[in-house]
A and B are shown apart, each in its own frame.
Chain A
Amino acid sequence: MSAAAADTGGRHPAATFSCCPVCLKKLPARLVQREETVFLEKSCPDHGAFSVPVWRGEPSWEAWIAAAGGTKTSPPEVTQTGRDRGCPFDCGVCPDHRERVCCVLLEVTRRCNQSCRYCFAEAGDDSSADPPLAEILKRYEFLKKAGEERPFNIHISGGEPTMREDLPRIIEGAVQAGFPYIQLNTNGLRLAEEAGYTETLKEAGVSAVFLQFDGTGDAVYRKIRGRDLTAVKTAALEACRRAHLPVVLAVTLVPGINTREIGAILRYALSLRPIVRGIHFQPVSYFGRYPAGVENPPHVTIPEVLKALEEQTGGLVHSSDFGPGATAHPACGFHGSFNVRENGTLKPTIRRRGDREGYLSGRDYVATRWVLPGGKAGCCCGSSEVSGLTGWDEFLSRFRESLFTITGMAFQDAWTVDLERLSRCKVFVLSEGRKLIPFCAWNLTSTEGRSIHRGEKDSW
């Protein structure tokens, strides 16, 4: 087997830095290509050598990185922390970060009504108090000031946000603060079980529901979530349809559990259009809670997801229909945008890159694709152009209703983290200390269960 440094097209260096999965010490690392697989390799003086696949198959790593070559990076104008220990310890945003914020997650609770075997937030019976509503409103004000040129997209997350009785007030607060896109990340339990709840959320102003959805049968849910959930998901989706509340299915992909269901999940999602606007695949990352005893945990890489999408749907979509995502480093995600034809086939839409600042492109992409036509964020009504030109409106409405997005994000855990990628992250979590911390840095967890940033409250 021949070994050679990955040619990253000059856009992503083969020499980078990572962390030790055991102690989280910062380590020099290299991206090494062997045949069709790119490995991240590093060695800790205390815990030994690690070699983890981060890219496997076609399209090649080089071609994929090159495809994003025209995207400009946009370093933040204002940073909140200085240089001290370097990436990933100085987050906040630090002066070495190379991208502005696109989306901000607000963890409004650590409580959850499920106890999943896999949970990056390690949520459950956490007795720590939720941040009060007044504090959340203050965080909105902080984020408004930090939002460069346009308010961030807000993801209300947890824990399970619907555990909070004041969730509608939290959503209303975000609307009143002027955030254009407010996403609710949820397992759907309360949406399924409480009559009128989705209507309440809709009235409060939520833009879209990001619904945990791992498969089309209970066997998958038992393995990943520890209980049967198919009926719950079905009921939650029906409740969202009744309330006219758009949904994106968020699929955690665990090797050997649901990676053979990718095609079936896509077909199911398409059958629930237009209320289901898209599907978002998240290859499992070993953050927070995951089954014990995993020494070198298996990772699904982006090309493998794309290949599965093509093969498991009989060519309904092709891997060439997808490109690097707009909300992260190109190796972190993929996206495809499609028009669904009347006969059910998918036509990829044309995407032109590179002529807008990447962070704006990413914010707008999310805010216009994951809402319903006529909905708030992607609305084409109420503006002040020439009246009577209904053909334009009808076309936009029909075109947007036919849009369906297939996206994915490969989060970086302590095995796969590449600090070059992390420095270009655009998805952030706002800490209790009001630092903006890249999602993967926030969730980075050692095999011993330690975090670098999660739970910090120090800076305010």
Chain B
Amino acid sequence: METVDPKSGEGMVCGCCNVPLETIKVTISYLKSTFPAEIPGCPRCGQVYIPEDLALGRMAEVERTLEDK
């Protein structure tokens, strides 16, 4: 059985489609800035999962930078 790690998104399954999440390409957009990134998401419905590490790490860093805090 694969270990599930909500912090990294590893081993997570899409609640709607019941398929394992994969690393998918998405476009991140915030405060009129846009850039491509790869994050865990459902290959069927396209919903993404933001792991805690990402939310508190890179994503927060981008937010702070864009908001000039």
Contacts and interface: CB of A to CB of B under 8 A. Distances in A.
Interface string B1-25: 0000000110000000000000100
Nearest to A403: B65
Interface in B21-59: 23, 28, 31, 33, 35-39, 51, 53-54, 57-59
Interface in A346-362: 349-352, 355-356, 361
B36 A391 contact: yes
Contacts of B54: 385-386, 389, 392
Interface string A317-355: 000000000000000000001000000000001111001
A64 to B, nearest CB: 18
Chain B interface main SS type = mixed
A142 interface: no
B28 A391 contact: yes
Interface in A380-407: 380, 383-386, 388-396, 399-400
Contact of B37 (A352, A384, A392): A392
Contacts of B58: 380, 385-386, 389, 392-393, 396
A384 B66 contact: no
Contacts of A386: 8-9, 39, 51, 53-54, 57-58
Most A C-beta atoms less than 10 A away, residue of B23, B54, B58: B58
A350 B68 contact: yes
A392 B62 contact: yes
Contacts, number: 72
B38 to A, nearest CB: 6
A390 B28 CA distance: 13
A391 B61 contact: no
B53 A351 contact: no
Contact-size category for A? 20 to 34
Given A384-B53, A386-B9, A395-B35, A356 B69 contact: yes
Contacts of A356: 69
Contacts of B67: 350-352
Contact of A399 (B28, B33, B53): B33
Most A C-beta atoms less than 10 A away, residue of B8, B33, B57, B68: B68
A349 B67 CA distance: 7
Contact of A385 (B35, B57, B68): B57
A396 B68 contact: no
A392 B9 CA distance: 17
Nearest to B56: A385
Contacts of B38: 388-391
Interface of B: 8-9, 23, 28, 31, 33, 35-39, 51, 53-54, 57-59, 61-62, 65-69
Interface of A: 337, 349-352, 355-356, 361, 364, 368, 380, 383-386, 388-396, 399-400
Closest 4 pairs (CB-CB, A-B): A391-B37, A385-B57, A395-B35, A392-B58
Given A352-B68, A388-B23, A392-B62, 20 more contacts: A349-B66, A350-B66, A351-B67, A351-B69, A361-B69, A368-B65, A380-B61, A385-B57, A385-B58, A386-B9, A386-B57, A389-B37, A389-B38, A389-B58, A391-B38, A392-B28, A392-B35, A392-B61, A393-B58, A395-B62
27 contacts: A337-B68, A350-B66, A352-B67, A352-B68, A355-B69, A356-B69, A368-B65, A380-B58, A380-B61, A384-B57, A385-B54, A385-B57, A386-B9, A386-B58, A389-B38, A390-B38, A391-B36, A391-B37, A392-B35, A392-B61, A392-B62, A394-B35, A395-B28, A395-B33, A395-B37, A396-B65, A399-B66
